Amino acid sequence: MKCIVKKRASGILLHITSLPAKYGIGDLGPDSYRFARFLAKANQSFWQVLPINPPAPVKKSWSPYNCLSAFAGNPLLISPDLLYRQGLLTRGNIQNIPAFPNSLVDYPAAVAYKTKLLHKACEHIRTKKTAQDYENFCSGNKNWLEDFALFVALRRRFRNRLWCDWPKDLRDRNKYALISVKASSQNVIEEEKFLQYLFFKQWFEFKRCCNQKNIKIIGDIPIYVAYDSADVWVNPDIFKLNKSKRPLFIAGVPPDLFSSTGQLWGNPVYDWKTLKKTNFAWWVERKRHNLKLFDIIRIDHFRGFFDYWQIPAAGKTAAAGKWIKAPAEDFFKILFNRIPHLPVIAEDLGYITPRIRNFIKKSDIACMRVLQFGFGGDLSKNRHYPDNLPENCVLYTGTHDNNTIKGWFEQAETIQKKRLFDLIGHKESIENIHWEFINLALNTKAKLVIIPMQDILGLGSKARMNRPGKIKGNWLWRLRPQQITLKISRKLKRLTQLNSRS
């Protein structure tokens, strides 16, 4: 395995949608480059983002972990400002922008507005000579691009009905039915391909800029895909589906610290026996694709490769599920043979079996620890307590699923606060607790420390990104430009230098 960090370093967790931007949602435009400059000035070496695939809206939730495709990019992240510079939008196109909220994402409004802008950009590109790099993009991504564009066209045709409810010949991908529908949907298919081209063009320019500033991008890869996705429609055999191609079982996790009834994710579970017969071809291709996009890959719910929580599709809560063993050793042997230097962070939170711990250690994979979890229970057995951290780990003050430091501190038990104060050597007020907490994390022996931007800013619970188990009100927080001050930049730089992470 490739060591993800050769020397002590630190970085920031901030999703692209949380960036400031005048079009209702953060994007890959000028504000992403400004944030990269902030990271460089503050001596940060990593920028972690959440999944960048197109979300499949479910019950008004826009979770980046529930996507229409494991390969496609999210068109909402395309920057209209950069399209204007390319000549794909006019100045008139990007004037008279609606009054979007500047501290959260209004998804319905942003989607409605940006969809119109992107459609205009595609109309403009049709009037130009087809660029060779567009042809190269289509050729280089043909293994997923054509099917994804057709999937989106069919979803639009059938008004976003689940693909299992499409006419049977399209549901089952009858060869002649697909040829016919491609012919009648060519304009929509071509537009979707253009949008993917534009997204990846902007993404790779953004990544190149970050890398030139010695900032590496950490991508977050959900273990599961949405049922309503091109992946399941195109590859139904690698999922546990019934004859009508509906899920037999769905994924989730059992009751835990986040939820007393567990988490019912709703994603279809993999048929690992079928995947093994293909030498895990779909997964290998997915990881190759990820490695082009990111410098390091964080695999969400790493335990699911070893044993996964399988819930009957009719189950009302995750408590109805049970653990099923998966062929992790066979899978990773093939994966690491095909991609020998795959830089991976394993999300190994929650209950992790000795089998998984031994594999992570033997494979020299970086594991995850969360400092907010480090002050409860028996400290001698607490994996997140600073003195118990392994060197080859990524320590988070909190993840996207956690409260902010201030939010956590307000709700922490007296014993947790006492243990925190004992470690930092004094009591601290809530106004400054975030800096003490960050300094404590940076001072540990963990090779890499990642800090959510909300914690750098010292924000409270209202700035939390996600509340597991709750559908509404998540994934909305946005950074305002004026929140990043010179004082904050200098403070972060000083703590980073003091803890030898520059």
31, 192, 220, 300: the active-site residue: 300
| 387 assigned to active site | no
- Using the CB atoms, write b or e for 300-327: b if 16+ within 10 Å: bbbbbbbbbbbbebebebbebbeeeebb
81 included as an active-site residue? no
Q: Would you state the structure tokens that stand for residue 395, as one six-digit string?
A: 């320590």
Spot the catalytic one: 192, 231, 347, 348: 347
CA angle 114, 119, 120 (to 5 degrees): 100
Neighbour tally for 372: CB within 10 Å: 23
Per the annotation, the verdict on 436 as an active-site residue is no
CA distance 245 to 23: 38
User: Cα–Cα distance between 282 and 277 in angstroms, integer?
Assistant: 11
Q: Is residue 391 within 8 Å of 416, Cβ to Cβ?
A: no
- Enumerate the H helices of 1-57 as residue ranges: 30-41
Residue 422 in contact with residue 478, Cβ under 8 Å? no
379: left (phi over 0), alpha (psi -120 to 50) or beta: alpha
Per-residue DSSP letter, 67 = B
Torsion of CA 79, 76, 449, 464, to 10 degrees: 120
Which DSSP symbol is given to 53? S
DSSP of 431-445: TTHHHHHHHHHHTSS
> How many angstroms separate the first and last alpha carbons of the chain?
24
User: For residue 383, which phi and psi values (nearest 5 degrees)?
Assistant: -70, -20
Residue 208: exposed, middle, or buried by beta-carbon count in 10 A (0-12, 13-18, 19+)?
exposed
Residue whose C-alpha is closest to residue 263's, from 311, 306, 221: 311
Of these residues, 146, 256, 401, 428, which one is catalytic? 401
> Where in the sequence numbering do the catalytic residues fall?
300, 347, 401
